[in-house]
Amino acid sequence: MINIPKGTKDVLPGESVKWHYTEDTLRGLAALYNAHEIRTPVFEHTELFVRSIGDGTDVVSKEMYTFEDKGGRSITLKPEGTAPVARSFVENSLDSMSLPLKMYYIIPAFRYERPQAGRLREFHQFGLEVYGATSPYLDLECISFAYEALIKLGLKGVRLHLNSIGCPECRKDYVVALKKYFADKLDVMCDTCKERYERNPLRLLDCKSPVCRSVAAGAPKITEHLCADCRAHHEKLCALLDASGIPYEVDEGIVRGLDYYTRTVFEFVTDELGAQGTVCGGGRYDNLVASIGGKPTGCVGFAMGLERLIMLMEKQGVDFGEERVTAFVMSQTTEYADKCMEIVAELRKNGISADTEMTGRSLKAQFKYADKIRAKYGIVIGGNEIETGKIKIKNLSDGTEEECDIRDIAARLKEKK
Ligand code: HAM
């Protein structure tokens, strides 16, 4: 017996309906926003992630699935979708398309993390990336997409936390102030924070340990160190959100775990998923495209963790709908199996989902099976039906029957759909 690798999950036939519902809802919303799907490979050159996400981040320094391929290249399974989209944008000169360009993706992502509820080693993201301008209207577009997506998925009580981490210029000053503040407090802080002090001081602000949190509470605020342009951007976005009626909270603790962000960063969080309560994270990254060889391009985006979304939807009792076959065609005896096959083929051609008996079971067993798979209608084919050309369509939920010409089954079922 070979088991599934730690931190991964199968989506079983009974559960896939939840994924279809979630993905279809998100794709539908993407169409309403004029966003187009982009598909990039599952693996990329390792250098792409090192350069964009940053080698001081947990993702790059500890969590990547990196290996050498048979040609001696260093390859990494993608830990997120933003860097691959940026790579593709540059490589395919997508800046020659009309900008702004809105792209979305549904991807598996891989991070070697300690698995727990809502934290996996292979997980899935829906992401949206908007390219082509530094205007705060693009930030609003992304945030309102995410906000509407959560509503469309039937979720309640997910809060938006918003911050600005400025540009590299205003961050220089801020990091100095931050390091000065933490310098004599590191003794009481956790080992990860001690390490972050040198490597990635902004992340001292989002440690989850209660002691580190209380120390961080008194730290200087980034919003007090923003340059005039970054401040104006942040204020305009807040005003746009106010005008759109999207509730948010400015939270100076939101710094995000990836290095490419500039200015706006945001997360949608819930208290209902324990420690892994961030269902969506994103922000602006105006320097990423240039850092991997493209022209400077204003960009903003987000990604939602699909496992976390679905867990929350389950918790909140969202109705995912059902995927039920419309007709189950049964043969009185094996003699009529060919005719049944013919009928289901005809139904499928007419866009009606249909199935039939293929293992030679008794009629009673076929009815049992039809019930189990929750088929909507049952149709029995036997000598009588062939002779008279009349069949009965049985509603398997309430037992009612109606007669119909054998040639009209598809038309009659279509009326019922
Ligand atoms: P991220 O915050 O690393 O951002 O991930 C986005 C979302 O993916 C998280 O909020 C969470 O819901 C989900 N997620 C992350 N790690 C795991 C895990 N190990 N198991 C389950 N779910 C997880 C990014 O990935 C950025 N690329 C988002 C972005 C797009 N920023 C701009 N554009």
pLDDT tens for each residue of 224-263: 899 999 999 999 999 999 999 999 999 998 989 899 999 9
> Is ligand 1 within 6 A of the CB of residue 262?
no
**What pLDDT, on a 0 to 100 scale, did the predictor assign at position 268?**
98
> Is ligand 1 within 6 A of the CB of residue 307?
yes
Q: Mention every residue, 6+ apart, whose C-beta is less than 8 A from residue 80.
A: 53, 59, 109, 125, 258, 303
Q: How confident is the model at residue 335 (pLDDT cuts 50, 70, 90)?
A: very high
320: Cα within 13 Å, side-chain hemisphere: 22
- CA–centroid distance, residue 281 to ligand 1 (Å): 6
**In 3-state terms, what secondary structure has residue 297?**
coil
Which of 78, 125, 268, 312 has most ligand 1 atoms within 8 Å of CB, for mutation? 125
C-alpha pair distances (Å), 275 with each of 5, 28, 129, 265: 23, 30, 27, 20
Q: What are phi and psi of 80, to 5 degrees?
A: -170, 175
Question: Whole-angstrom Cα distance, residue 281 to residue 254?
Answer: 10
Give the position, in ligand 1's atom list, of the atom nearest the Cα of 309. 12
| Interval 115-130: pLDDT, tens | 999 999 999 999 999 9
181: Cα within 13 Å, side-chain hemisphere: 19
Give the position, in ligand 1's atom list, of the atom nearest the Cα of 121. 19
> What residue ranges in 90-148 does DSSP mark as E strands?
101-110, 122-131
- CA–centroid distance, residue 133 to ligand 1 (Å): 23
Measured by CA distance, the residue closest to atom 10 of ligand 1 is 280
- CA–centroid distance, residue 214 to ligand 1 (Å): 25
Helix (H) or strand (E) holding 45: strand 43-45
Give the position, in ligand 1's atom list, of the atom nearest the Cα of 256. 2
**Contact between 76 and 64 (Cβ < 8 Å):** yes
- Percentage of the chain modeled with pLDDT above 70: 100
Q: How confident is the model at residue 75 (pLDDT cuts 50, 70, 90)?
A: very high
- CA–centroid distance, residue 82 to ligand 1 (Å): 10
- pLDDT higher than 80, residue 417: no
pTM surpassing 0.85?
Answer: yes
Q: Mention every residue, 6+ apart, whose C-beta is less than 8 A from residue 387.
A: none
- CA–centroid distance, residue 350 to ligand 1 (Å): 42
User: Tokens for 74?
Assistant: 């260093």
**Contact between 43 and 75 (Cβ < 8 Å):** yes
- pLDDT higher than 80, residue 44: yes
**Average pLDDT of the residues in 204-211:** 88
Q: How confident is the model at residue 198 (pLDDT cuts 50, 70, 90)?
A: confident
**Average pLDDT of the residues in 19-34:** 98
69: Cα within 13 Å, side-chain hemisphere: 10
Q: Mention every residue, 6+ apart, whose C-beta is less than 8 A from residue 84.
A: 40, 41, 44, 48, 78
Measured by CA distance, the residue closest to atom 23 of ligand 1 is 305
Question: Whole-angstrom Cα distance, residue 60 to residue 142?
Answer: 26
- pLDDT higher than 90, residue 306: yes
> Is ligand 1 within 6 A of the CB of residue 113?
yes
- CA–centroid distance, residue 220 to ligand 1 (Å): 27
360: left (phi over 0), alpha (psi -120 to 50) or beta: left
Q: How confident is the model at residue 97 (pLDDT cuts 50, 70, 90)?
A: confident
Measured by CA distance, the residue closest to atom 2 of ligand 1 is 281
> Is ligand 1 within 6 A of the CB of residue 120?
yes
Measured by CA distance, the residue closest to atom 16 of ligand 1 is 119
> Is ligand 1 within 6 A of the CB of residue 79?
no
- pLDDT higher than 90, residue 338: yes
- CA–centroid distance, residue 304 to ligand 1 (Å): 6
**What pLDDT, on a 0 to 100 scale, did the predictor assign at position 159?**
98
**What pLDDT, on a 0 to 100 scale, did the predictor assign at position 132?**
96
C-alpha pair distances (Å), 276 with each of 120, 208, 335: 11, 11, 57
**What pLDDT, on a 0 to 100 scale, did the predictor assign at position 69?**
98
C-alpha pair distances (Å), 336 with each of 121, 375, 382: 50, 20, 6
Which of 123, 158, 255, 269 has most ligand 1 atoms within 8 Å of CB, for mutation? 123
- CA–centroid distance, residue 80 to ligand 1 (Å): 7
The identity of residue 276, as a single letter, is Q
Q: How confident is the model at residue 183 (pLDDT cuts 50, 70, 90)?
A: very high
Mean pLDDT for the chain overall:
96
> Is ligand 1 within 6 A of the CB of residue 129?
yes
Question: Whole-angstrom Cα distance, residue 232 to residue 251?
Answer: 17
**Contact between 79 and 109 (Cβ < 8 Å):** yes
- Percentage of the chain modeled with pLDDT above 90: 92
